[in-house]
Amino acid sequence: MSSDTVPSKRPEKTTGLHVGDPAPGVKKVDPILVADHVKRTFGGLTAVDVEHVEIPRNAITALIGPNGAGKTTFFNLLTGFDRPDTGTWEFDGRPLAHVPAYRVARMGLIRTFQLTKSLGLLTVMDNMKLGAKGQSGENFFRALLPFLWSGEEKANEEKALDLLTRFKLDAKKDDYAASLSGGQRKLLEMARALMSDPTLVMLDEPMAGVNPALTQSLLDHILDLKAQGMTVLFVEHDMHMVRHIADWVIVMAEGRVVAEGDPHEVMQNPAVIDAYLGSHHDSDLGETETEHVTAMKELIDDEQ
């Protein structure tokens, strides 16, 4: 955790996102994603058991929770990278359960991974082109009639260069992705996600492994996504980041949503304190205290 984790300008928070008390599963004024009864078990372990959750449109929502709470599994389910035992969910009013990941992406829901998936032996530019919608090779007839797609190829390259410039990676466009630093790879992954003009961007631990020199730039880019009309849902352990940029926070523990609210309210919610600190929150956790718990403890103290 870093207390330097602040964007360069004060983020404009979006409020008025929910209807009624901010309890788990609370209705949103304009949800972009609505999930019901999504359950995933691994043998005897219930990793995800979300009864109902709504993600507000054109806002930044943080999904937080202690290690093993089910956040990444839930991300995998929503984006078609894993299959639930039960459950349905809709993205922009369209059912998504059983839709494979590549089609979910084409529908406008793009995700990044905790460990970046940039292809090290491809150049930065080639990684970007892979993120484009409707690539030439996808369609048999286009592949037979290349003049149909040369214009598209050029447009993709221009768009990629534009994005790489925005993310300050243009000078690296011909380098192998493997030569980038961890933080630059995170930026590349985010830039690549934007190649397909998503409406919902899901980021799994965008700050993990990013050195302080790049954290501000990453935060600014995430805020930009909202400014451009996109919706962001991100998993993050860095609570300072959550507090600074999230408009809404959803807290998971043991597979369930245990609390929701704006970042300041949520940090004071007893269910959240319990989820992170169990029954130990008045005592020193000593050796057993993880970095995430320490971070949460500091913030809870700040809020009180």
Ligand X SMILES: Nc1ncnc2c1ncn2[C@@H]1O[C@H](COP(=O)(O)OP(=O)(O)OP(=O)(O)O)[C@@H](O)[C@H]1O
Give the footprint of ligand X on this chain (CB under 6 A): 42, 45, 47, 65, 67-73
Q: What is the spatial distance between Cα 4 and Cα 241, in angstroms, rounded to a whole number?
A: 9
Q: What is the spatial distance between Cα 97 and Cα 25, in angstroms, rounded to a whole number?
A: 19
Least CB distance from residue 67 to ligand X, whole Å?
A: 4
Least CB distance from residue 193 to ligand X, whole Å?
A: 19
Report the residue number, 114 or 199, with the smaller CB distance to ligand X: 114
Q: What is the spatial distance between Cα 199 and Cα 130, in angstroms, rounded to a whole number?
A: 18
Least CB distance from residue 72 to ligand X, whole Å?
A: 3
Residue 222 and residue 60 in contact, taking contact as beta carbons nearer than 8 Å: yes
The three-class DSSP label of residue 207 is: coil
* Contact residues for 16 (Cβ-Cβ < 8 A; gap 6+): 29
Report the residue number, 61 or 73, with the smaller CB distance to ligand X: 73
Question: Tokens 């998503």 correspond to what residue?
Answer: 198
Least CB distance from residue 1 to ligand X, whole Å?
A: 14
Least CB distance from residue 70 to ligand X, whole Å?
A: 4
User: Per the structure block, which two tokens stand in for 72?
Assistant: 């990444």
Report the residue number, 191 or 238, with the smaller CB distance to ligand X: 238
Buried b (16+ CB within 10 A) or exposed e, 42-55: eeeeebbbbeebbb
Report the residue number, 1 or 122, with the smaller CB distance to ligand X: 1
Report the residue number, 45 or 145, with the smaller CB distance to ligand X: 45
Question: Tokens 């799994």 correspond to what residue?
Answer: 204
* Contact residues for 72 (Cβ-Cβ < 8 A; gap 6+): 114, 204, 235
Report the residue number, 11 or 70, with the smaller CB distance to ligand X: 70
What DSSP character marks residue 12?
A: -
Residue type, 111: R
Least CB distance from residue 150 to ligand X, whole Å?
A: 42
